[in-house]
């Protein structure tokens, strides 16, 4: 091995810096670096090295300090021999005192440095920093040899030990497992972790941390010196949902090991989305007052229960009384015989896939047999042109009425209870229903008699006795106008049978009309009628005019009459005087405004009509020249006339 002069130090290594610093200072002021290993071994000098625990396979700057503690002859030379053969010297960084020289040590098979120079007296020191690449394998004892000389006299050799750690710890999360749905016992979630290292954990230690601040370490257990068990537990509540747990372990050398698991917190039992019970014919049994009801003819029932759980795994049983059947989510059970049984207890008991303690769902339902038929139906009936209004429909039953069946001259039309008590007018087959009132379309029986028969059916499918009324149906037709709570701008789409305002308003199905206003533009006067007290100067409601109607709640006004007056009367025309006119749309079919107003001379009326949308409570415009802007039955509108004109409603109605 060649000697190496100071001027050649820069060529010793290429790569990450490795320095040798040699310095002389008073012993009383010298503090060895943190982690330094100091050895005196009964010799007149001491030696230390830092760091003493390093990461394998990395560049590391070592600081070695030699202190003259008691050699009166002084120290004139130091040999530093580093371990081998896996250690690699990179370069000298610096040394002290600078008056010394540094040479490569030629007498050692692995490698080292020789430092020599002026005498270092008692209390003075020598420091060297060198950059080394550590071995790539783990070793518990890598020995450096420090030999000091006074002239040719050997003062002694000190052995310094450095631990090389090339392997990171291994981290294994034992609980919860990957993608596990984890149920929490008493509000706690335990995260159990095994940490292993190739070096002695007891001697050197390891820093273990979890990524979630809601957890803290509650237990550390040593299996042996290289295997430790850690238990973390949450210190605050953790809601259901995704839980990502990452645990890191860093050994003394800085090697990082980590383990990660994705789990789910699931403390919620399966949730019932719905349950259906059917009879042997596949007909759903009604659920009323907390129970299912089967009819007297029911011989078997089956159940379909749908539950939801985040784990996606639901297992258990459905019981019919004491008969157990395997539960399958969203699937029908086998038919269970109920002949001769007055009631059946259905119980669903299932668990989800959460661990270690599955969450349980259990619920019980009762199925009763209803063999008591409802009473006869009470109702009143009022004939109108081309129809009838049935009010006060009621029947009694031990369970409840499922539906009312209506026969018109022997032709059946079913009406459900929900429809009868609906909040808005609805078309059901050939009739309309609203708030306990049945509005029948009897156009085919106009001018004839009609037999109206009603019977009630209960939730057990039992039909009660029928009640019939025979009525004479007046000729003509009817039209229903919806009235929203607040002000409505309406007109009569038919020529009313009676124009008396009390007669017209008597056909409001819900009787919620309180006030009606009309405008007479010839006299520039408002006329009104207050329905609760039946007072006011507005005595009649006629076709062709517009009316402001105030309803306290949603209502439906049924207008009965004719499209045209009976012969030999002429078709209707409406006189519109100059100025603003509150006019009406007299038709039961919608049409464009331009078509409806086509009898007026061009330029004698305003370009726009103003209509009021009672549902949105806002003004809207209808452009007369635009064929796409339409008027609809029951609408009233404001129109401005520049001169008196006569409006002739078209006889040909648009579809």
How remote is the C-alpha of 254 from its chain's centroid?
43
Tens-place pLDDT, residues 524-576: 999 999 999 999 999 999 999 999 999 999 999 999 999 999 889 899 999 99
Domain 378-475 part of CATH 2.60.40.10: yes
Rounded mean pLDDT for each run of 10 residues along the chain, 655 residues in total: 30 27 28 55 92 95 96 94 89 91 75 92 95 93 95 95 96 94 82 96 96 94 96 91 96 96 93 96 91 94 95 94 96 96 96 91 96 93 94 89 91 79 68 80 93 92 94 95 96 96 95 96 94 96 98 94 91 93 95 92 81 96 87 96 92 51
User: Both tokens of residue 93?
Assistant: 């960084």
Q: Please state which CATH number belongs to domain 170-265.
A: 2.60.40.650
- Give the right CATH number for 6-165 from 3.30.200.20, 3.30.390.50, 2.60.40.680, 2.40.50.150: 2.60.40.680
Q: What angle do CA 404, 407, 412 make, to 5 degrees?
A: 85
Distances in Å between the alpha carbon of 56 and those of 165, 166, 563?
5, 4, 103
The whole model's pTM is what?
A: 0.59
CA distances from 338 to 230, 278, 299, 460 (A): 58, 12, 5, 14
Buried b (16+ CB within 10 A) or exposed e, 169-198: bebebebbeeebbbbbeeeebbbebbbbbb
Backbone angles phi, psi at 17, to 5 degrees: -60, 140
Q: In what order do the strands lie in the sheet with 314-320?
A: 287-288, 291-294, 360-369, 343-352, 314-320, 323-326
- Please answer whether residues 23 and 101 qualify as being in contact, where contact means their C-beta atoms are separated by less than 8 angstroms: no
Query: What's residue 29's pLDDT?
Result: 29
Cis peptide before 97 (omega within 30 of 0): yes
Q: Which of 576, 519, 488 is nearest to 528 (CA)?
A: 519
Determine the Cα–Cα distance for residues 217 and 335; give it in Å rounded to an integer: 55
Q: Give the pLDDT confidence score for residue 100 in this predicted structure.
A: 93
Q: Output the CA torsion sign for 41, 46, 50, 56.
A: negative
In this prediction, residue 603 carries a pLDDT of 72
Q: Tell me the C-alpha distance between 324 and 348, whole Å.
A: 10
The Cα–Cα gap between 139 and 364 comes to 68
CATH T-level topology, domain 271-369: Immunoglobulin-like (2.60.40)
Pull the structure tokens for residue 214: 């809601």
Domain ranges of the chain: 6-165, 170-265, 271-369, 378-475, 477-655
CB atoms within 10 A of CB 523: 9
CB atoms near residue 154 (< 10 Å): 12
Residues near 88 by beta carbon (within 8 Å), at least 6 away in sequence:
132, 133
C-alpha distances in angstroms, 468 versus 291, 367, 471? 33, 34, 10
pLDDT of residue 384: 95
Residue pair 605/597 in contact by the 8 Å Cβ criterion:
yes
Q: SS in 3 state form for 547-581?
A: EEEEECCCEEEEEEEECCCCCCCCCCCEEECCEEE
Q: Minimal CA–CA distance to 296: which of 358, 340, 251?
A: 340
Token pair in block for residue 538: 């507005």
Q: What is the structure's pLDDT at 607?
A: 82
Q: How far apart are CA 497 and CA 647, in angstroms?
A: 22
Report the alpha-carbon distance of residue 645 to residue 506 in Å, rounded: 33
Query: Is 271-369 the same fold as 6-165?
Result: yes
* The pLDDT value given to residue 106: 63
């Amino acid at each position: 091995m060649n000697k190496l002069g100071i001027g050649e130090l820069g060529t010793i290594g290429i790569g990450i810096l490795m320095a040798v610093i040699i310095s002389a200072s008073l012993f009383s002021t010298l503090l060895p670096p943190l982690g330094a290993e100091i050895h005196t071994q009964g010799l007149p000098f001491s030696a230390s090295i830092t760091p003493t625990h390093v990461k394998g396979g990395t560049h590391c700057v070592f600081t070695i300090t030699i202190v003259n503690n008691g050699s009166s002859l002084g120290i004139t030379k130091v040999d530093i021999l580093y371990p081998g053969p896996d250690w690699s010297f990179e370069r000298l960084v610096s040394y002290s005192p600078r008056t010394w020289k540094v040479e490569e040590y030629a007498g050692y098979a692995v490698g080292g440095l020789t430092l020599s120079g002026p005498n270092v007296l008692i209390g003075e020191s020598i420091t060297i920093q060198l950059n080394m690449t550590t071995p790539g394998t783990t070793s518990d004892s890598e020995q450096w040899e420090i030999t000091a000389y006074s002239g040719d006299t050997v003062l002694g050799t000190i052995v310094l030990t450095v631990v090389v750690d090339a392997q990171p710890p291994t981290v294994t999360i034992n609980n919860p497992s990957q993608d596990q749905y984890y149920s929490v016992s008493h509000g706690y979630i335990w995260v159990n972790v095994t940490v292993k290292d190739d070096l002695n954990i007891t001697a050197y230690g390891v820093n273990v941390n979890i990524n979630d601040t809601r957890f803290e370490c509650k237990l550390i257990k040593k299996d042996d010196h290289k295997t430790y068990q850690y238990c973390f537990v949450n210190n605050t509540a953790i809601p259901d949902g995704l839980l990502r747990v990452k645990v890191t372990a860093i050994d003394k050398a800085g090697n990082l090991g980590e383990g990660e698991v994705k789990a789910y917190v699931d403390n919620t039992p399966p949730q019932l989305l719905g349950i259906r019970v059917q009879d042997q014919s596949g007909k759903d049994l009604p659920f009323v007052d907390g129970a299912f009801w089967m009819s007297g003819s029911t011989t078997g029932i089956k159940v379909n229960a749908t539950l939801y759980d985040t784990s996606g795994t639901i297992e258990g049983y459905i019981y019919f009384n004491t008969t157990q059947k395997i539960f399958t989510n969203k699937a029908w059970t086998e038919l269970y015989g109920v002949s001769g049984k007055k009631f059946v207890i259905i119980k669903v008991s299932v668990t989800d896939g959460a661990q270690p303690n599955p969450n349980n769902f259990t619920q019980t339902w009762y199925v009763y047999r209803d063999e008591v038929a409802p009473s006869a139906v009470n109702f009143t009936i009022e004939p109108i042109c081309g129809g009838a209004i049935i009010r006060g429909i009621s029947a009694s039953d031990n369970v409840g009425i499922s539906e009312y069946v209506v026969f018109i001259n022997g032709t059946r039309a079913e009406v459900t209870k929900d429809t009868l008590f609906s909040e808005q007018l609805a078309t059901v087959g050939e009739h309309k229903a609203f708030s306990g009132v049945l509005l029948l379309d009897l156009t085919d029986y106009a001018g004839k008699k009609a037999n109206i028969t009603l019977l009630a059916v209960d939730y057990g499918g039992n039909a009660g006795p029928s009640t019939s009324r025979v009525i004479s149906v007046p000729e003509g037709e009817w039209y229903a106008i919806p009235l929203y709570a607040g002000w409505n701008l309406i007109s009569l789409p038919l020529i009313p049978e009676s124009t008396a305002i009390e007669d017209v308003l008597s056909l409001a199905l819900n009787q919620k009309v309180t006030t009606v206003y009309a405008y007479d533009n010839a006299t520039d006067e408002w006329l009104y009628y207050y329905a609760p007290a039946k007072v006011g100067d507005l005595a009649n409601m006629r076709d062709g005019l517009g009316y402001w109607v105030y309803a306290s709640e949603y209502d439906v006004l049924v207008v009965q009459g004719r499209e045209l007056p009976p012969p030999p009367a002429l078709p209707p025309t409406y006189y519109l005087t100059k100025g603003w006119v509150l006019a009406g749309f007299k038709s039961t079919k919608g049409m464009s405004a331009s078509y409806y107003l086509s009898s007026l001379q061009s330029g004698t009326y305003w370009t726009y009509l103003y209509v009021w949308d009672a549902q949105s409570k806002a003004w809207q415009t209808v452009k007369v020249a635009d064929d796409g802007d339409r008027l609809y039955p029951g609408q009233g509108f404001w129109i401005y006339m520049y001169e008196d004109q006569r409006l002739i409603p078209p006889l040909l109605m648009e579809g």
